[in-house]
């Protein structure tokens, strides 16, 4: 089956630093990737939709200057949390849409971010 | 904000028991209902995509039903096995474009050998 990887799986950083999270589709091309954030005991929330070669579409309430998304190729999307603060600590997960596969999303394993 | 609820939040069952849990979603603007199986530290696995009222889908010992008029879907697991232990997540798709997919909070299942 289709595989999506995320790197890193876990990151701890100091407040004020920026953190980049990579999402890769390993064996298929993904023109569309999605970034989600999960708050403790709450649902996954869609942050943004990333389309290869164009600007990401952000959901209402998500700061695009805070969460920079780049989808430079058909297999890679990156999420950069700029000037991270403790309230950005969360579980971030990406998914990739495999075209021609019933529009199924394939999820990465997630990245746990802890900002001290 | 769309309200997608799953119940129970968690449950423990003995190996061999059958179990079921519920996903409730808005009954309007329905496009599809997705079920995922999510093991800790792994990627969620797509189980079913359900689109029609009255749909019933089956994959091995796992099956799901859909009622779009009243806004609920049931996931059934027959003869639970320890390897079924996972979080089962539903997602309500109101547009077909994934721009409006809302996930439930999940039901965490623990099957006791």
Q: List, as one string, the DSSP characters of A15-65.
A: TT--EEEEEEESSS--SEEEEEEE-TTS-EEEEEEEETTSPPEEPTT--TT
Give the pLDDT of residue B86: 93
CA–CA distance, A97 with A103 (Å, rounded to integer): 6
User: Alpha-carbon Rg of chain B, whole angstroms?
Assistant: 13
In chain A, which residue's Cα lies nearest the Cα of B106? A43
- Given an 8 Å threshold on Cβ–Cβ distance, is B99 in contact with A49? yes
- Given an 8 Å threshold on Cβ–Cβ distance, is B105 in contact with A41? yes
The full 3-state SS of A33-47, as one line of letters, equals EEEEEECCCCCEEEE
Give the pLDDT of residue A102: 52
Give the pLDDT of residue A100: 62
pLDDT 10s digit of each residue in chain A, 116 long? 678 899 998 999 999 999 999 999 998 888 889 999 987 666 678 899 888 888 899 988 899 999 999 988 889 999 999 999 999 998 899 988 876 655 567 888 889 899 99
DSSP state of A108: -
CA–CA distance, A75 with A98 (Å, rounded to integer): 11
- Chain centroid, CA B12 distance in Å: 16
Give the pLDDT of residue A82: 96
Which residues of chain A does B99 touch, with a Cβ-Cβ cutoff of 8 Å?
46, 49, 57
CA distance B5 to chain A (A): 9
Give the pLDDT of residue A62: 92
Size of interface A-B (CB pairs under 8 A): 41
Contact of B26 with chain A, judged by CB distance below 8 Å, is answered with no
CA atoms within 13 A on the CB side of B8: 9
- Given an 8 Å threshold on Cβ–Cβ distance, is B43 in contact with A46? no
Which residues of chain B does A9 touch, with a Cβ-Cβ cutoff of 8 Å?
41
Give the pLDDT of residue B102: 80
CA distance A44 to chain B (A): 6
- Given an 8 Å threshold on Cβ–Cβ distance, is A49 in contact with B44? no
Identify whether the C-beta of residue B103 lies closer than 8 Å to the C-beta of residue B5.
no
- Given an 8 Å threshold on Cβ–Cβ distance, is B43 in contact with A109? yes
CA–CA distance, A17 with B63 (Å, rounded to integer): 46
Give the pLDDT of residue A30: 85
Give the pLDDT of residue A35: 93
Task: Dump strand ranges (E) for chain B.
Answer: 5-7, 10-14, 19-24, 32-38, 45-50, 56-59, 62-67, 72-77, 86-93, 101-103, 107-112
CA–CA distance, A62 with A65 (Å, rounded to integer): 9
What percent of chain B shows pLDDT beyond 90? 65
Report whether pLDDT(B66) > 80. yes
CA–CA distance, A66 with A89 (Å, rounded to integer): 13
CA of A79: how far to CAs of A92, B32, B74, in Å? 9, 28, 35
Task: Give the model confidence (pLDDT) of B1-55 as tens digits.
Answer: 568 899 998 999 999 999 999 999 998 888 889 999 988 767 778 899 899 999 9
DSSP state of B18: -
């Amino acid at each position: 089956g289709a595989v999506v990887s995320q790197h890193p799986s876990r990151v701890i950083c100091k407040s004020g630093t920026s953190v980049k999270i990579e999402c890769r589709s390993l064996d298929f091309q993904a023109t569309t990737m999605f970034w989600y954030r999960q708050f403790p005991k709450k649902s996954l929330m869609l942050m943004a939709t990333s389309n290869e070669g164009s600007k990401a579409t952000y959901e209402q309430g998500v700061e695009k200057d805070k969460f920079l998304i780049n989808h430079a190729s058909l297999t890679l999307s990156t999420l950069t949390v700029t000037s991270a603060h403790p309230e950005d600590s969360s579980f971030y997960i990406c998914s990739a849409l495999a075209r021609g596969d019933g529009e199924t999303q394939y999820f990465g394993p997630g990245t746990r971010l802890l900002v001290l | 904000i769309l309200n997608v609820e799953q119940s129970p939040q968690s449950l423990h069952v003995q190996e061999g028991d059958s179990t079921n849990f519920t996903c409730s979603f808005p009954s309007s603007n329905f496009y599809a209902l997705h079920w995922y199986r999510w093991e800790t530290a792994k990627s969620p696995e797509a189980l079913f995509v359900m689109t029609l009222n009255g749909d019933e889908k089956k994959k091995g010992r796992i099956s799901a039903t859909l009622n779009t008029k009243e806004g609920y879907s049931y996931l059934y697991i027959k003869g639970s096995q320890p390897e079924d232990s996972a979080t089962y997540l539903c997602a309500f798709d109101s547009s077909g474009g994934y721009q409006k997919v809302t996930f439930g909070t999940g039901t965490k299942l623990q099957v006791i050998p």
